[in-house]
Amino acid sequence: MFRWHKSATKQFRKALGLSKYQFLWLTFGNGLLIGYVLAFLAHR
């Protein structure tokens, strides 16, 4: 499972044409956004 996830992530990153650094920032921002939405929904 780990090898599949690593391979799929690498292929997705290359399909977007992003460097590893850019992809890390993208996933960091995605995590912040998801966390914000979940916190907003939990505290409504």
Residue range(s) defining the domain that contains residue 24: 2-42
Question: pLDDT digit string (tens) for 1-44?
Answer: 999 999 999 999 999 999 999 999 999 999 999 999 999 999 98
Residue 10 and residue 18 in contact, taking contact as beta carbons nearer than 8 Å: no
Query: How many domains does one find in the chain?
Result: 1
Q: How far apart are CA 12 and CA 41, in angstroms?
A: 29
Q: Is the pTM of this model over 0.95?
A: no
As to burial, measured by CB atoms within 10 angstroms (0-12 exposed, 13-18 middle, 19+ buried), residue 38 is: exposed
